[in-house]
Structure 1
Amino acid sequence: MNSRTKHALGLAVLLPAALAQADDGGISFWLPGQFGALAAAPTEPGWSMPLVYYHVSAKDDANKGVPRGGRTTFGLDATADLLFAFPTYTFAEPLLGAQAAIAVGAAVARDEASVDVTLTGPRGRAFSGGTEDTLKGASDLLYMGTLKWNHGVHNFMAYTMGNVPVGAYDPDRLVNIGLGHASLDAGGGYTYFDKKNEFSAVAGMTYNWENTDTDYQNGIDAHLDLSASHFITDQTHLGLVGYVYHQVTGDSGSGATFGDFKSRVNGIGPQIGHFFKVGKDLWYANLKGYDEFDAKNRPEGWNVWLTVVVPLSE
């Protein structure tokens, strides 16, 4: 494994749903695109600090009603900006023959949205015409554990991640930053890296507990994140990223007035990554973007990620 990849945290970063009113809005705990280049590659033991800026812009189908935090809305138009810090510790001693790492993090965010029509509001209130909402606050507390195995150019990973629902959340709001319920996600990944070419794929599934404020429980979600790139120099790689997200079981609870409301979305776009020295330390930055398509029961749009991995250990 080339030494430069030892400092790339695999861009495995936990991010909650930036447009989340709750999962009943067609938004999931798993944010597609979380895993990217070198996802399963081992990293340097010790502390590191991935910092992630995430911007998303998305819209609902204006002709189709969507349950959203006790409302039925039409024509959602939303944007959000989040800044995450995710301190991570990678153990030097192997566990089950793998390199183990744990991480805990959260974000500060600004979320804003407008809708063309709201038919049914919280607490039985009725609305007509448009409304909008803006919120600044903190996300849920997020945690993750990974195991990574290296066999030459082949790298394998198992992970689990979840959230503690302590973020800014109010079921009466149009937008929220916290989810309003707990979720647990688990899966595995693979990275091929021969010092010039990189390919990564990470698949997983999410279980969601009930949102007791809305009596709504989202179904089980399945997702696949992909990355393919080529190192044009020893420090810089260019390529493509993509994701597939598909809800495999339906929503439930007394608040699921639209039935199972299964959602899906796909995304694809470019990426560039670069390793660079800051003093004696080797940092890594990655910029990637996704254009979404084939969405169902979920906002569709585009998103951009800027990640910087900062090594903190000597």
Structure 2
Amino acid sequence: MRRETNREGIVRRSIHVATSVAVLTFGAYLDPVYADEGGVSYWLPGRFSSLAATPQVPGWSMAAVYYHTSVSAFGSAAASREIHVGRIPAHVNVDLNLRLNAQADLVLLNPTYTFATPVLGGQLAIGVTGLFGRSSADLAGTLTAAVGPLAVTRAGAFGDSITSVGDLYPQATLKWNAGVHNFMTYVTGDIPVGAYSPTRLANLGIGHAAIDAGGGYTYFNPQAGHEFSAVAGFTYNFKNPDTQYQNGIDFHVDWGASQFLSKQLFVGLVGYAYQQITDDFGQHPALGGFRSRVLGVGPQIGFLFPVGDMQGYLNLKGYGEFAAENRPAGWNTWLTFSISPMAPAGIVTSTRRMTK
């Protein structure tokens, strides 16, 4: 193993903290009106970003995240909420001209433990995320329902809000390091214990279990300070027992690119792509397969600093969404503070290579 320069060693020690944030702030289902059933999906794009696959310092870490989102939708994405909240029967033909607006302000807490003993030649970490906050939504427009020759039109608006706790989101990751190349696999899911009602317009839970798994890669060159990460995965959704609705399978990619300007500061870009690849089951015929899609991109900035004998980290990132289909779109921001073990001075990141 070659001797690192002083700058390279400092940057390598610093990225341990940024790495822990990339994992600790993986997030959870946060938005009250995203895709699938009634416009709601388990996976929240942006859960992973820069340095997602790089190793961490073993021990306990904690991240606290303030998350804000503001979205709107027309057409089928808004109509789906009216159909589900209004419990419109499948045999009723509907014509909807609606607009949906929603926002959420949430706080997430995510303790994670990273094991020092290798597992399959890699580094194992487990954690769980819980959240508390407020979600609100309003729906306005007209609805025309017809049964045979009879037709009824309803116009107006109504809103809903809730302040409570959300579902729980466990996660496990396994990572391998090979010089500037880092690899990971992960599994996560939804334990539906949060505030949820099938007749509410706004919820902090999704009402059904889900499991999500995938893998990722990070290129990090500590000498140049260059970094790029991408994590992809699939979500399988279980049937909602209250509505007998089952979301289709979702595919998603989160990515981040950054440049270290100093041993403490980096800037960069983040983005995501989300695409539902199979139809929903149990939806109203007016919605069709209701496959959803959205893209997002935005800036990020991160700052590292000591907190006693621990390492602190602040990160601010934001996404603007576009190319949405069957899904509300808007913007969202994440403000993260994390604290984790400090890498000892002079300790170089492990260069264990993957074992086949």
TM bin, normalised by shorter chain, reads over 0.9
Q: Are 2:188 and 1:161 equivalent residues in the alignment?
A: yes
CA offsets per residue over residues 136-186 of structure 1, 9 Å max, x none?
010101100000001111100000000110000011111100010001000
* Alignment match, 2:353: none
Identity %: 50
Q: Are 2:16 and 1:6 equivalent residues in the alignment?
A: yes
Distance 1:244 1:287 in 2: 20
Q: 1:200 to 1:10 in 2, by over 3 A?
A: farther
Match of 2:255 among 208, 226, 241: 226
Q: Stretches of 4+ moved more than 4 A in 1? A: 62-65, 254-257
CA offsets per residue over residues 227-284 of structure 1, 9 Å max, x none?
0010011111101001000000010126565221000000000000111111221111
- Measured after TM superposition, the shift of residue 3 of structure 1 is 1.0
Instruction: Provide structure 2 residue ranges, at least 5 long, that are not aligned to the other structure.
Output: 1-8, 89-95, 146-152, 344-356
Q: How does 1:52-63 map to 2 (within 5 A)?
A: 52-61=65-74
* Alignment match, 2:280: 251
Match of 2:297 among 256, 268, 276: 268
TM-score, normalised by the number of residues in structure 1: 0.93
Which structure carries more helix by proportion? 2
Match of 1:145 among 169, 172, 175: 172
- Bigger shift: 191-200 or 54-63? 54-63
Distance 1:276 1:107 in 2: 26
- Bigger shift: 209-218 or 20-29? 20-29
CA offsets per residue over residues 38-77 of structure 1, 9 Å max, x none?
1001111010001111100000026875212333772110
Q: How does 1:18-37 map to 2 (within 5 A)?
A: 18-20=31-33, 23-37=36-50
Q: Are 2:109 and 1:94 equivalent residues in the alignment?
A: no
* Alignment match, 2:203: 176
Distance 2:167 2:16 in 1: 29
Distance 2:53 2:198 in 1: 37
Give, as a single letter, the amino acid of the residue that structure 1 aligns with 2:101: D
Give, as a single letter, the amino acid of the residue that structure 2 aligns with 1:42: P
For the pair shown, which has the larger CA radius of gyration, 1 or 2?
A: 2
Q: 1:136 to 1:170 in 2, by over 3 A?
A: same
Distance 1:258 1:250 in 2: 10
Q: 1:10 to 1:310 in 2, by over 3 A?
A: closer
Contact 1:282 1:311 in 2 (8 A): yes
Secondary structure of the residue that 1:6 maps to in structure 2? helix
Cα RMSD for the two superposed structures: 2.3
